[in-house]
Chain A
Amino acid sequence: MSSITPADVEVGAQGDGGAPRRPGRVSLGGLSLNLRSSGIYIAFALIVVLFSVLTDGALLTPQNISNIIVQNSYVLILAIGMILIIIAGHIDLSVGSVVAVTGALAAVLMVNMGLPWPLALLITLVAGALIGAWQGYWIAYFGIPAFIVTLAGMLLFRALTLTVLGNRGIGPFPDQVRTLANGFTNGYFGNIGLGPLGGADLFSLLIGIVAIAGMAAAQWRSRTARRSYGQAVEPFVLFVLKLAAGAALILFLVVQLARFKNLPWVLVLLAVLVLGYSLMANRTVFGRQIYAIGGNLQAAVMSGVKVKSVVFWIFVNMGVLSAIAGVIFAGRLNQAGPTAGNAFELDAIAAAFIGGAAVQGGVGKVVGAITGGLIMAVINNGMSLIGSPSERVMLVKGAVLLAAVAFDVWTKRRAGASR
């Protein structure tokens, strides 16, 4: 259950879009629609329970939770960018190669040229943006399908990586970059005892409490605002129960992490990204236009959406996120290697589709993609804990992806038939 935190942060953030919608959907489409939007979270919970049992609880130990987060952070970051692209009805196959080339660039700047790491990081992010702009130009303004442009990009940027690195890796990275990728927050206030659970970092616990308080406050504010506009809100008891469940999840995660080595920096980064991008997707004009484009491109054009510009910028964004993932991946291995990021694009795409994105576009959530990524992460981790060979892990992941999309298509067809 631990790693659900990002999801929960998001629920707090966009609650006023999600909550009142549900009763409307239920009354129209019956249970299936409700299932379609929440099925992914139920599936995730079941998978976590399943592997907790199979691993005798090893899955949810403090260290393992920390590992799952740190080991999958870069794919989750990529999934955030990917879900936006998929919502708009496009795809990006190049992110793995972009991770490699930006990691290599960061290594050259920091290690070979000895630039100060913040400057090198900034240059790397700008490079990521330029790569995204390059691909976005061909897709949005030149009109080449994203599939082709990014397939070419996959080759181009891998070639560029090999050109820069040759056959060897570049490292080691400055300590700060390694800390960002692999390290934990400092225990500023020391440890406190938690009785039978042993010692835990006070600072991490405080962060957790602040997060819970923030979530509760945001939820409460949107609830009162909604009521003042005369909108229907869910019953107070249900509201409190939901809040309590969310708080319990965050608390569990934070306590477990505080008992290990405090909060991983990548978790902090991830939480900020998920919160920020969820807000962007739901609450900004730009985010709404992404959904409009994917939902009905022609109607979006005829409603005055600057389709080309929106598509261009989501690819620029993907480039920047790929660069962040590239630096974190290289920092974690402490070396930028020529094979870095191999097949990351497939993990990111799978995360988006498992997380409820529609193949035709127009549907999907940032939290969904994160949950999809975590489902794969837990399957990976859990199966390796019970000693499954890697081919079996791959088999299961493939089956899960197919099942998730099949479920989506099936619910849609049922919804269509009942029309």
Chain B
Amino acid sequence: MTEHILRMSGITKTFPGVKALQNVNLSVRRGEIHAICGENGAGKSTLMKVLSGVYPHGDYEGEIIFEGRKCEFGGIRDSEHAGIVIIHQELALSPQLSIAENIFLGNERARRGLIDWNRTNFEAAELMKRVGLRENPTTPISDIGVGKQQLVEIAKALSKEVKLLILDEPTAALNDDDSAHLLDLLRGLRDEGITCVIISHKLNEVTAIADSVTIIRDGQTIETLDMASDHVTEDRIISGMVGRALDNRFPPHEPTIGEEVLRIEDWTVYSPSQPGRKVVDGAALTLRRGEIVGLAGLMGAGRTELAMSVFGRAYGVHISGKIFKDGKPIEVRNVQDAIRHGIAYATEDRKRYGLNLIEDIKRNISAAGLTGLSRRGWVNENEEYQVAERFHKSMNIKAPSVESIVGKLSGGNQQKVVLSKWILTEPDVLILDEPTRGIDVGAKYEIYTIINRLADQGKAVLVISSELPELLGLCDRIYTLSEGRITGEVPRADATQESLMYLMTKGQEK
């Protein structure tokens, strides 16, 4: 068990302006299950993309040695050829094709250019037996649940004669039974000699299944622990994940907290894509004037889903629960209602949900508050310009003019445009989803300053963030969300990264 199947050493990967990975080392022993843990954005997925050739050789620095040979993968095909298969969090299956067709997609069982359907379905059935998937090979993917789809992905990997299987958050979308089955399957594969690397936020699963764990923080390897000899506990992993010192990255802020503005009770939201799955489960929140409240949760915990469902039911189906504004119950049926009631939501995905990238700054800023700049449906363009110019200055948006195209701005400046857009609607409640994602440190400080200013103006601010230090540095009170449920409410004074991480990883006890 001491032979290493994989050694990655000195891996450094930079994106424009950001060092995603810095001198990362990872050694995986043959035939083990190796877990990789770290906060969101720590660099786990980037590391796996380097390994699987998504970022080709030359795009990163460092060395990959697999099966004793130095590897320079030019793409996923190369790494799969070597026996490394990655299964991403978002499954890459074609919903209308059958299980068998998906298993052999891109790797078809064919004779002289024609698909051999008997062989395809026969071999698929064999593979399905190996992963414990009891379905007909000709069943379309869309007819089976996510848990079984995950098994199809694994069967697909097995069809490629996988030696190293990488699973990115394999149980994030699964219920308890499916998760348990998947973990059993991984143990079985390990016994067959297949090495697994598993990225997971669910630390109870990690401690249950992994033979060793590597902890990554801020794009650097912190440590690799042997589960058996080091007696690793969940708390031990958490302290490794959050161990960074808090420096002075946050502007000082003395809150003046007023009365309640928004209260959500018993808020339940179902997934639109997976019928019957509760994404948010009986959540309750209270926001007060002048207060910055944090919402912490790991990926897949339902943070964005909670926020978007509150913001005019922009996400989810069968939404139930009550919303109170200034103590009175309100109906928020759509985004227009939400804006009218003074609720604003700045999205985590600026490019997809936040901005019209082909338009200029001016028209993006006015996009949500256009009625305020118009009379009887006619826009006062001069006033629009003036308002945009005001934000250009007050938010310090770095662009030659308010007529610059938004798609050309940096992430930080785009975020300032999004914030300007929502401030223009004069909201009482601002929900900011990952307000500093993809933004460099200097711009982050500016965004924090803006958030403090908004609170000082008497607005209630809810900040959703994956970065615990950010929540601890910015918020007056923090809610934790795990698997759709609010698992804790902690005043800033009592909150530590460890205590939050504990609440965020707290599974549902049945």
Q: Interface residues, chain A, CB within 8 Å of chain B?
A: 16-17, 20-21, 23-25, 27-29, 225-226, 228-232, 282-286, 288-289, 291-292, 295-296, 298-306, 358, 362-363, 419
User: What chain B residues lie within 8 Å of A229 (beta carbons)?
Assistant: 382-383, 385-386
A295 to B385, CA, bound (A): 20
Contact of B405 among A16, A25, A286, A289 (CB under 8 A): A25
Asked if A303 meets B368 with Cβ closer than 8 Å, knowing A21-B360, A226-B382, the reply is yes
Cross-chain pairs A/B with CB under 8 angstroms, 6 sampled: A24-B360, A25-B403, A288-B363, A291-B363, A302-B335, A302-B354
Asked if A295 meets B359 with Cβ closer than 8 Å, knowing A24-B400, A288-B370, the reply is yes
User: What chain A residues lie within 8 Å of B367 (beta carbons)?
Assistant: 288, 292, 299-300, 303, 305
Asked if A362 meets B356 with Cβ closer than 8 Å, knowing A21-B403, A24-B403, A301-B335, the reply is yes
CB distance from A33 to the nearest CB of B (A): 8
CB distance from B364 to the nearest CB of A (A): 9
Contact of A296 among B345, B356, B404 (CB under 8 A): B356
Query: In terms of DSSP, what is the predominant structure of the interface of chain B?
Result: mixed
Contact of B358 among A27, A301, A306, A363 (CB under 8 A): A363
A257 to B335, CA, bound (A): 52
User: What chain B residues lie within 8 Å of A25 (beta carbons)?
Assistant: 403, 405
Q: Which residue of A lies closest to B357 (CB)?
A: A296
User: Shortest 8 CB-CB distances between A and B: which pairs?
Assistant: A295-B356, A24-B403, A303-B368, A304-B335, A303-B367, A229-B382, A24-B401, A304-B339
B8 interface contact, C-beta 8 A: no
Q: Interface residues, chain B, CB within 8 Å of chain A?
A: 311-312, 314, 335-336, 338-339, 345, 347, 352-360, 363, 366-368, 370-371, 374, 377-379, 381-383, 385-386, 389, 400-401, 403-405, 407-408, 421
A286 to B357, CA, bound (A): 19
Q: Is the CB of A291 within 8 A of B407?
A: no
CB distance from B433 to the nearest CB of A (A): 11
Q: Is the CB of A298 within 8 A of B352?
A: yes
Asked if A301 meets B314 with Cβ closer than 8 Å, knowing A17-B381, A295-B358, the reply is yes
CB distance from B398 to the nearest CB of A (A): 13
Q: Is the CB of B404 within 8 A of A284?
A: no
Considering residues B345, B347, B377, which has the most beta carbons from chain A within 10 angstroms of its beta carbon? B377
CB distance from A349 to the nearest CB of B (A): 21
A301 to B355, CA, bound (A): 11
Q: Which residue of B lies closest to A296 (CB)?
A: B356
A291 to B366, CA, bound (A): 13
CB distance from B435 to the nearest CB of A (A): 15
Other than A284-B379, A302-B314, give 15 A-B pairs with Cβ distance below 8 A.
A20-B403, A23-B401, A24-B404, A231-B382, A231-B385, A288-B379, A291-B356, A302-B335, A302-B354, A303-B335, A303-B368, A304-B312, A304-B338, A304-B368, A358-B358
User: What chain B residues lie within 8 Å of A16 (beta carbons)?
Assistant: 381-382
A229 to B95, CA, bound (A): 55
A16 to B404, CA, bound (A): 16
Q: Is the CB of B355 within 8 A of A296?
A: yes
User: What chain B residues lie within 8 Å of A21 (beta carbons)?
Assistant: 360, 403
User: What chain B residues lie within 8 Å of A298 (beta carbons)?
Assistant: 352-353
A356 to B279, CA, bound (A): 44
User: What chain B residues lie within 8 Å of A363 (beta carbons)?
Assistant: 358
Query: In terms of DSSP, what is the predominant structure of the interface of chain A?
Result: helix
A282 to B362, CA, bound (A): 13
Q: Which residue of B lies closest to A27 (CB)?
A: B400
A387 to B311, CA, bound (A): 63
Q: Which residue of A lies closest to B337 (CB)?
A: A304
User: What chain B residues lie within 8 Å of A228 (beta carbons)?
Assistant: 382
Q: Is the CB of A419 within 8 A of B408?
A: yes
Q: Is the CB of A291 within 8 A of B379?
A: no
A367 to B314, CA, bound (A): 36
User: What chain B residues lie within 8 Å of A358 (beta carbons)?
Assistant: 358
Q: Which residue of A lies closest to B366 (CB)?
A: A288
Q: Which residue of A lies closest to B312 (CB)?
A: A304
Q: Is the CB of B382 within 8 A of A292?
A: no
A305 to B360, CA, bound (A): 18
Q: Is the CB of A284 within 8 A of B377?
A: yes
A28 to B361, CA, bound (A): 13
Q: Which residue of B lies closest to A286 (CB)?
A: B377
User: What chain A residues lie within 8 Å of B366 (beta carbons)?
Assistant: 288
Contact of A225 among B357, B374, B382, B403 (CB under 8 A): B382
Q: Which residue of A lies closest to B400 (CB)?
A: A27
Q: Which residue of B lies closest to A228 (CB)?
A: B382
User: What chain A residues lie within 8 Å of B385 (beta carbons)?
Assistant: 226, 229, 231
User: What chain B residues lie within 8 Å of A299 (beta carbons)?
Assistant: 352-356, 367
Asked if A285 meets B335 with Cβ closer than 8 Å, knowing A28-B405, A301-B314, the reply is no
CB distance from B83 to the nearest CB of A (A): 37
Q: Which residue of A lies closest to B402 (CB)?
A: A24
User: What chain A residues lie within 8 Å of B339 (beta carbons)?
Assistant: 304
Q: Which residue of B lies closest to A284 (CB)?
A: B377
CB distance from A27 to the nearest CB of B (A): 5
Asked if A302 meets B345 with Cβ closer than 8 Å, knowing A295-B357, A296-B357, A419-B408, the reply is yes
Q: Which residue of B lies closest to A14 (CB)?
A: B381
Considering residues A24, A285, A303, A358, which has the most beta carbons from chain B within 10 angstroms of its beta carbon? A303
User: What chain A residues lie within 8 Å of B354 (beta carbons)?
Assistant: 299, 302
A302 to B360, CA, bound (A): 18
A305 to B377, CA, bound (A): 13
Q: Is the CB of A304 within 8 A of B336?
A: yes
Q: Is the CB of B352 within 8 A of A362?
A: no
A302 to B386, CA, bound (A): 24
A24 to B383, CA, bound (A): 19
CB distance from B421 to the nearest CB of A (A): 7
Q: Which residue of B lies closest to A360 (CB)?
A: B358
A288 to B377, CA, bound (A): 10
User: What chain B residues lie within 8 Å of A419 (beta carbons)?
Assistant: 407-408
